[in-house]
A = this chain, B = another copy of it.
Amino acid sequence: MAGSGAAAPTSERILDAAERLFAAKGFAGTSLREITASAGVNVAAVHYHFGSKEELLRAVLSRIVEPVNRERLELLGRAEGAAAPEPPSVEAVLEAFLAPDLRVIRELGERGAVITRFMGRSYTEPSDLVRGMIQEQFGELGRRFHQALCRAVPDVPPDELFWRLMAVVAVVTYMLAVPREEGLGGLLEPDDVDGTLRRMIAFLGPGIRAPAPPRGGQSASARP
Protein backbone atom coordinates (compact mmCIF):
# COMPACT_ATOMS: atom_id res chain seq x y z
CA MET A 1 0.00 0.00 0.00
CA ALA A 2 2.86 2.35 0.89
CA GLY A 3 5.32 1.27 -1.79
CA SER A 4 4.28 3.28 -4.80
CA GLY A 5 7.28 2.34 -6.89
CA ALA A 6 7.28 0.56 -10.22
CA ALA A 7 7.07 -2.86 -8.58
CA ALA A 8 3.28 -2.69 -8.18
CA PRO A 9 1.35 -5.40 -9.98
CA THR A 10 0.10 -4.56 -13.43
CA SER A 11 -3.57 -4.53 -12.52
CA GLU A 12 -3.00 -2.00 -9.75
CA ARG A 13 -0.92 0.21 -11.99
CA ILE A 14 -3.82 0.20 -14.41
CA LEU A 15 -6.30 1.01 -11.67
CA ASP A 16 -4.17 3.90 -10.43
CA ALA A 17 -3.75 5.41 -13.86
CA ALA A 18 -7.41 4.96 -14.74
CA GLU A 19 -8.47 6.55 -11.48
CA ARG A 20 -6.32 9.58 -12.14
CA LEU A 21 -7.38 10.02 -15.75
CA PHE A 22 -11.08 9.35 -15.22
CA ALA A 23 -11.00 11.95 -12.46
CA ALA A 24 -9.33 14.49 -14.70
CA LYS A 25 -11.16 13.94 -17.96
CA GLY A 26 -14.24 11.83 -17.32
CA PHE A 27 -15.02 8.35 -18.52
CA ALA A 28 -15.96 9.13 -22.10
CA GLY A 29 -13.12 11.63 -22.33
CA THR A 30 -10.42 9.13 -21.44
CA SER A 31 -9.11 6.50 -23.83
CA LEU A 32 -7.70 3.14 -22.89
CA ARG A 33 -4.55 4.06 -24.71
CA GLU A 34 -3.98 7.05 -22.47
CA ILE A 35 -4.48 4.86 -19.45
CA THR A 36 -2.13 2.15 -20.52
CA ALA A 37 0.49 4.62 -21.70
CA SER A 38 0.36 6.36 -18.34
CA ALA A 39 0.57 3.06 -16.51
CA GLY A 40 3.47 1.86 -18.65
CA VAL A 41 1.65 -1.26 -19.74
CA ASN A 42 0.11 -2.52 -22.91
CA VAL A 43 -3.42 -1.98 -24.12
CA ALA A 44 -4.16 -5.66 -24.13
CA ALA A 45 -3.45 -5.87 -20.40
CA VAL A 46 -6.65 -3.99 -19.67
CA HIS A 47 -8.72 -6.54 -21.50
CA TYR A 48 -6.88 -9.38 -19.91
CA HIS A 49 -7.37 -8.12 -16.37
CA PHE A 50 -10.74 -6.40 -16.60
CA GLY A 51 -12.41 -7.48 -19.83
CA SER A 52 -13.56 -4.09 -21.05
CA LYS A 53 -13.37 -0.37 -20.44
CA GLU A 54 -16.67 -0.44 -18.56
CA GLU A 55 -15.54 -3.20 -16.25
CA LEU A 56 -12.37 -1.29 -15.58
CA LEU A 57 -14.46 1.66 -14.51
CA ARG A 58 -16.51 -0.52 -12.22
CA ALA A 59 -13.31 -1.79 -10.61
CA VAL A 60 -11.94 1.72 -10.14
CA LEU A 61 -15.14 2.92 -8.61
CA SER A 62 -15.71 0.19 -6.11
CA ARG A 63 -12.11 0.29 -4.95
CA ILE A 64 -12.81 3.87 -3.89
CA VAL A 65 -16.39 3.91 -2.74
CA GLU A 66 -16.65 0.74 -0.74
CA PRO A 67 -14.20 1.59 2.05
CA VAL A 68 -15.53 5.15 2.35
CA ASN A 69 -19.11 3.99 2.68
CA ARG A 70 -18.08 1.29 5.12
CA GLU A 71 -16.44 3.92 7.28
CA ARG A 72 -19.53 6.11 7.07
CA LEU A 73 -21.73 3.33 8.39
CA GLU A 74 -19.21 2.49 11.07
CA LEU A 75 -19.05 6.08 12.29
CA LEU A 76 -22.82 6.31 12.29
CA GLY A 77 -23.12 3.17 14.35
CA ARG A 78 -20.54 4.48 16.79
CA ALA A 79 -22.36 7.81 17.12
CA GLU A 80 -25.61 6.01 17.79
CA GLY A 81 -23.94 3.87 20.38
CA ALA A 82 -22.38 6.85 22.14
CA ALA A 83 -25.71 8.65 22.37
CA ALA A 84 -27.10 5.73 24.35
CA PRO A 85 -30.90 5.42 24.17
CA GLU A 86 -31.25 8.94 22.80
CA PRO A 87 -30.83 9.41 19.06
CA PRO A 88 -27.57 11.14 18.05
CA SER A 89 -27.64 14.82 17.16
CA VAL A 90 -27.98 16.11 13.63
CA GLU A 91 -24.40 17.27 13.83
CA ALA A 92 -23.17 13.82 14.80
CA VAL A 93 -25.03 12.25 11.87
CA LEU A 94 -23.64 14.84 9.51
CA GLU A 95 -20.13 14.26 10.77
CA ALA A 96 -20.42 10.53 10.23
CA PHE A 97 -21.51 11.19 6.68
CA LEU A 98 -19.01 13.88 5.77
CA ALA A 99 -15.86 13.00 7.67
CA PRO A 100 -14.80 9.89 5.69
CA ASP A 101 -14.87 11.84 2.44
CA LEU A 102 -12.82 14.66 3.85
CA ARG A 103 -10.43 12.46 5.74
CA VAL A 104 -9.46 10.53 2.67
CA ILE A 105 -8.02 13.73 1.27
CA ARG A 106 -5.64 14.21 4.15
CA GLU A 107 -4.65 10.59 4.55
CA LEU A 108 -4.00 9.75 0.93
CA GLY A 109 -2.34 12.98 -0.11
CA GLU A 110 -2.33 13.60 -3.84
CA ARG A 111 -4.25 10.43 -4.56
CA GLY A 112 -6.84 11.55 -2.04
CA ALA A 113 -7.46 14.66 -4.07
CA VAL A 114 -7.77 12.57 -7.20
CA ILE A 115 -10.20 10.20 -5.55
CA THR A 116 -12.52 12.81 -4.14
CA ARG A 117 -12.61 14.59 -7.42
CA PHE A 118 -13.46 11.36 -9.14
CA MET A 119 -16.24 10.62 -6.69
CA GLY A 120 -17.71 14.06 -7.00
CA ARG A 121 -17.69 13.85 -10.74
CA SER A 122 -19.23 10.42 -10.81
CA TYR A 123 -22.44 11.58 -9.19
CA THR A 124 -23.29 13.74 -12.15
CA GLU A 125 -21.46 11.75 -14.79
CA PRO A 126 -23.47 11.60 -18.00
CA SER A 127 -22.81 7.90 -18.40
CA ASP A 128 -25.76 5.79 -17.29
CA LEU A 129 -23.31 3.10 -16.30
CA VAL A 130 -21.48 5.29 -13.83
CA ARG A 131 -24.58 6.71 -12.23
CA GLY A 132 -26.12 3.27 -12.00
CA MET A 133 -23.11 2.05 -10.07
CA ILE A 134 -23.16 5.04 -7.78
CA GLN A 135 -26.81 4.54 -6.99
CA GLU A 136 -26.25 0.88 -6.35
CA GLN A 137 -23.63 1.83 -3.79
CA PHE A 138 -25.71 4.59 -2.31
CA GLY A 139 -28.95 2.68 -1.80
CA GLU A 140 -28.44 1.08 1.60
CA LEU A 141 -26.28 3.94 2.80
CA GLY A 142 -28.95 6.48 1.98
CA ARG A 143 -31.64 4.54 3.80
CA ARG A 144 -29.48 4.22 6.90
CA PHE A 145 -28.67 7.89 7.11
CA HIS A 146 -32.18 8.94 6.27
CA GLN A 147 -33.46 6.85 9.12
CA ALA A 148 -30.87 8.36 11.46
CA LEU A 149 -31.92 11.88 10.47
CA CYS A 150 -35.58 11.06 11.00
CA ARG A 151 -34.87 10.07 14.59
CA ALA A 152 -32.64 13.08 15.15
CA VAL A 153 -35.24 15.56 13.87
CA PRO A 154 -38.66 14.00 14.51
CA ASP A 155 -40.59 17.21 13.87
CA VAL A 156 -39.57 17.44 10.20
CA PRO A 157 -41.40 15.06 7.84
CA PRO A 158 -39.36 12.12 6.50
CA ASP A 159 -39.65 13.05 2.85
CA GLU A 160 -38.46 16.54 3.61
CA LEU A 161 -35.48 15.04 5.43
CA PHE A 162 -34.72 12.83 2.48
CA TRP A 163 -34.67 15.84 0.22
CA ARG A 164 -32.33 17.57 2.64
CA LEU A 165 -30.04 14.59 2.80
CA MET A 166 -29.80 14.82 -0.97
CA ALA A 167 -28.87 18.46 -0.57
CA VAL A 168 -26.06 17.39 1.77
CA VAL A 169 -24.88 14.96 -0.87
CA ALA A 170 -25.04 17.81 -3.35
CA VAL A 171 -22.79 20.05 -1.30
CA VAL A 172 -20.13 17.49 -0.56
CA THR A 173 -20.27 16.25 -4.14
CA TYR A 174 -19.80 19.68 -5.60
CA MET A 175 -17.05 20.68 -3.23
CA LEU A 176 -15.20 17.51 -4.07
CA ALA A 177 -15.69 17.84 -7.78
CA VAL A 178 -14.49 21.37 -8.29
CA PRO A 179 -10.71 21.35 -8.51
CA ARG A 180 -9.22 23.61 -5.94
CA GLU A 181 -6.98 25.52 -8.30
CA GLU A 182 -10.11 26.63 -10.04
CA GLY A 183 -11.28 30.18 -9.32
CA LEU A 184 -14.20 30.04 -6.98
CA GLY A 185 -11.85 30.04 -4.03
CA GLY A 186 -10.24 27.17 -2.21
CA LEU A 187 -13.45 25.40 -1.48
CA LEU A 188 -11.97 22.43 0.23
CA GLU A 189 -8.70 23.39 1.91
CA PRO A 190 -7.25 19.90 2.05
CA ASP A 191 -4.78 21.00 4.72
CA ASP A 192 -7.59 21.87 7.09
CA VAL A 193 -9.98 18.96 7.08
CA ASP A 194 -11.33 19.74 10.53
CA GLY A 195 -12.03 23.32 9.58
CA THR A 196 -13.83 22.26 6.44
CA LEU A 197 -15.89 19.77 8.39
CA ARG A 198 -16.94 22.40 10.93
CA ARG A 199 -17.73 24.77 8.10
CA MET A 200 -19.97 22.26 6.40
CA ILE A 201 -21.73 21.24 9.58
CA ALA A 202 -22.26 24.86 10.62
CA PHE A 203 -23.92 25.51 7.28
CA LEU A 204 -25.88 22.30 6.84
CA GLY A 205 -27.02 21.64 10.41
CA PRO A 206 -29.42 24.59 10.70
CA GLY A 207 -30.92 23.80 7.31
CA ILE A 208 -31.72 20.27 8.34
CA ARG A 209 -33.24 21.36 11.64
CA ALA A 210 -35.29 24.13 10.02
CA PRO A 211 -39.07 23.77 10.05
CA ALA A 212 -40.45 22.38 6.83
CA PRO A 213 -42.03 24.90 4.48
CA PRO A 214 -45.84 24.86 4.27
CA ARG A 215 -47.28 22.41 1.76
CA GLY A 216 -49.76 23.13 -0.95
CA GLY A 217 -49.94 24.79 -4.34
CA GLN A 218 -49.44 28.52 -4.56
CA SER A 219 -50.77 29.84 -1.27
CA ALA A 220 -48.57 32.84 -0.66
CA SER A 221 -47.22 33.06 2.84
CA ALA A 222 -49.88 31.65 5.13
CA ARG A 223 -48.13 30.26 8.14
CA PRO A 224 -50.06 28.37 10.81
Contact = CB atoms under 8 A, between A and B. Distances in A.
Interface of A: 24-29, 120-121, 123-127, 131, 135, 138-139, 142, 159-160, 162-164, 166-167, 169-171, 173-175, 177-178, 182-185, 187, 192, 194-195, 198-199, 201-218
Copies of this chain assembled into the complex: 2
A115 B195 CA distance: 36
Given A124-B178, A204-B207, 6 more contacts: A124-B174, A163-B203, A173-B174, A195-B216, A203-B208, A205-B207
Contact of A121 (B25, B126, B167): B126
A120 B183 CA distance: 18
A169 B178 CA distance: 12
Contacts of A173: 124, 170, 174
Among A139, A206, A214, residue most surrounded by chain B Cβ atoms (within 10 Å):
A206
B202 A125 contact: no
A174 B169 contact: yes
30 contacts: A24-B126, A25-B28, A26-B28, A26-B126, A26-B127, A120-B124, A123-B174, A124-B124, A124-B174, A124-B177, A131-B182, A135-B183, A135-B184, A159-B185, A163-B203, A164-B203, A166-B174, A166-B187, A167-B203, A169-B174, A192-B217, A194-B217, A195-B215, A199-B213, A202-B210, A203-B210, A205-B207, A205-B210, A206-B206, A207-B207
Contacts of A213: 195, 198-199, 201-202
A47 B174 CA distance: 34
A28 B211 CA distance: 42
A28 B34 CA distance: 15
A203 B211 CA distance: 9
B217 A195 contact: yes
Contact of A28 (B29, B169, B199, B208): B29
Nearest to A118: B126
A94 to B, nearest CB: 12
Contacts of A216: 195
